[in-house]
Structure 1
Amino acid sequence: MKYSILLLALLAGCISTNKEKMAQKNVVGTFERIEKFHSEYISSRTVDIWLPNGYDKGKKYAVLYMHDGQMLFDSTTTWNGQEWSVDETLQQLIDEDQVRETIVVALWNGGETRHADYFPQKPFEALPDEMRKYLIDEAQRNEETSLFATDVRSDDYLKFIVEELKPYVDSHFSTLTNRENTFVAGSSMGGLISMYAICEYPQIFGGAACLSTHWPGTFAIENNPIPEQFATYMRNNLPDPQTHKIYFDYGTETLDAMYQELQPKIDSVMVESGYDSANWMTRKFEGHDHSERSWQSRLHIPLKFLLGS
């Protein structure tokens, strides 16, 4: 199955790497930017921290960690002129008392390392050696994508979040540090790493939102063992449904069309693992494509599901 350069860019996370201060479009809340946040585990990257209106150090706030941070707030700086509008959407929900007061920690992706940072490492390493070699060799022959540009290193990416970034955020901002108030969210490959984060660190993350989760891992469905490997991993590693919430969704157009036959297999794993409507949601959005515009239009649903006050 072949896809346009646009769809390849959407999955690979091609972006404008403007490091200037966030453009003052209709900003809601306030932002603090940390450029080149140093890590012992992964490449340095920008982190934007969004604080809701009226942020008060005398109060404590839940924290939502979000991937692909450069795509979340300001369409004037994104590669495709789109954004998630996280600030507007979350502030409105807070003002309407539909969700708890929450800080957003937006981690910029690493550009060409995005796929390697976000691809769940343990499922990848569980693939047969010849399959791993084939995936890497095939990807590196295709100059249109940055798939497997480096070794899969999502375990290090999660260590960065849990061991370096979260302690910084908790020490510099007024946060609720417990699992019940710590969440993770992303789309496409960001959906995969959000699923992986809650499975690998169930003591840290109480909920995950996985939008347009890219279950194929690459661009093919036929003869692709990756989706089944993800299902097997989840069957063995999903956190306790009594203490965690997980959200999935998908559209029906462009790259999202691939997910319609794969998400039901994941849903069956959720049921087998004891999840029900109280702690798990999967939504299908007819006509939605694989874009920030689509994720923006439905972001309020996972936010209310995870952060409902």
Structure 2
Amino acid sequence: MEDCSIDEDFFKNKSWNEIKKQIPDPYWHEPYDTKKQYWEATISKIKLKERYKDITRIPNLTVTYGKIDRVKNFQSNYVDSRNIDVWLPPNYNDSERYAVLYMHDGQMLFDSTRTWNNQEWKVDETIARLIFDGKIRNTIVVGVWNNGAYRHSEYFPQKPINYLDRELKDNLIKTDLKGKQQADNYLKFLVEELKPYIDKNYSTHTNMQNTFIAGSSMGGLISMYAISEYPDVYGGAACISTHWVGDVNVKGDKVPLAFNQYLINNLPEPKNHKFYFDYGTVGLDSLYKPYQTKIDKTMNKKGYTIKNWITKEFKGDDHSEASWSRRLYIPLEFLLANNNN
């Protein structure tokens, strides 16, 4: 309620008995006995942020290399607001231009002490080392926090759903997506709102050749979708442990086949784009190989070669940040190879 004001006329020339009947919030709980008590309490609640500043303050992330700029509750006309963590490499300065890597599930990237499972991608350690060794170009990372309960709703590619039969489509939207298809709006948020903000506030290369997108599991799906829907914006996508099954509760291969058909119809021109796919062999990742094999055939038929497409299997790796962090350097070296721009 910060920046609110009091309607003083509400308190003037009225008795407490009249005011008591009009208290707008019955859940404030304090037993007000006089008009003066209610006035003071209302003033106090308008300064709510000041009263609870020690509780509402978000702890800073701890990174080993570089620094994090947090944009709290980035507002959007397309999706719910969320935090954005912008990682800047050591010695970042405005006299140089930087490639930009957008990563989904941004709250899982940098600091295991702030994540739900005490794991992280080790993004700052990996990218800082690769930059220092000259293996990748200067790069900043934009960590886009997911939307919690509506993560699937935002990350499940929207257009492939249209390849499903009506009953399966309706059931998928109702259950897995909780009644909302938000992937197209999520991409509009990234492209029309977030990217302009990043390019305005940081020293970036704004072209497609220096703009990349990456994620794991559902984040792999939405990365594939992003580069296919916006080939003029993204030059490469890292789709790690890509969740081709879409919804594990849907039996059969109808959903993976829908993704494959979408790619057949929408893959961007291979000459100017790069794709990286991978999967492990343990746990949820053990489901992916047969579907990735079909995707690989499609990539090959569409003209992708080892110059612009890699698929890798990692035996013994499971579906976790611990596994993804160990192999993160591979897609980064492939997508962000230091070509002196």
Q: Same fold (TM over 0.5)?
A: yes
Q: Could you state the TM-score of these two structures normalised by the residue count of structure 1? A: 0.89
| RMSD between superposed Cα atoms in Å | 1.3
- Matched residue, 2:74: 37
Aligned with residue 105 of structure 1, among 132, 138, 142:
142
Aligned with residue 208 of structure 2, among 179, 182, 204:
179
Superposed CA offset, 1:124-152 (max 9, x none): 13322211122245x3xxxxxxx312412
Superposed CA offset, 1:75-126 (max 9, x none): 0010000000000000000000000000100000000110000000000133
Indicate yes or no: 2:178 matched with 1:149.
Answer: yes
- Aligned partner of 1:114: which letter? R
- Aligned partner of 2:110: which letter? F
Indicate yes or no: 2:247 matched with 1:218.
Answer: yes
- Matched residue, 1:53: 90
- Structure with greater contact order relative to length (CA < 8 Å, sep ≥ 6): 1
Taking every aligned residue pair, what percent have the same amino acid on both sides? 54
- Matched residue, 2:280: 251
Deviates more, 1:233-242 or 1:222-231: 222-231
Indicate yes or no: 2:279 matched with 1:230.
Answer: no
Q: Secondary structure at the match of 2:194?
A: helix
- Aligned partner of 1:125: which letter? N
Q: Which runs of 5+ in 1 are unaligned?
A: 1-17, 140-146
Aligned with residue 130 of structure 1, among 167, 178, 187:
167
- Matched residue, 2:238: 209
CA contact (8 A) 1:68 1:106 kept: yes
Q: Secondary structure at the match of 1:242?
A: helix
Q: Could you state the TM-score of these two structures normalised by the residue count of structure 2? A: 0.81
Aligned with residue 62 of structure 1, among 99, 117, 131:
99
- For this pair of structures, how many residues does the alignment match? 283
Distance across 2 between alignment mates of 1:70 and 1:227 = 28
CA contact (8 A) 1:22 1:74 kept: no
Q: Which runs of 5+ in 2 are unaligned?
A: 1-55
Distance across 1 between alignment mates of 2:295 and 2:152 = 21
Q: Give 1:222 deviation, angstroms.
A: 3.8
Question: In terms of Rg, which structure is larger?
Answer: 2
**Deviating 4+ runs (over 6 angstroms):** none
Q: Give 1:214 deviation, angstroms.
A: 0.2
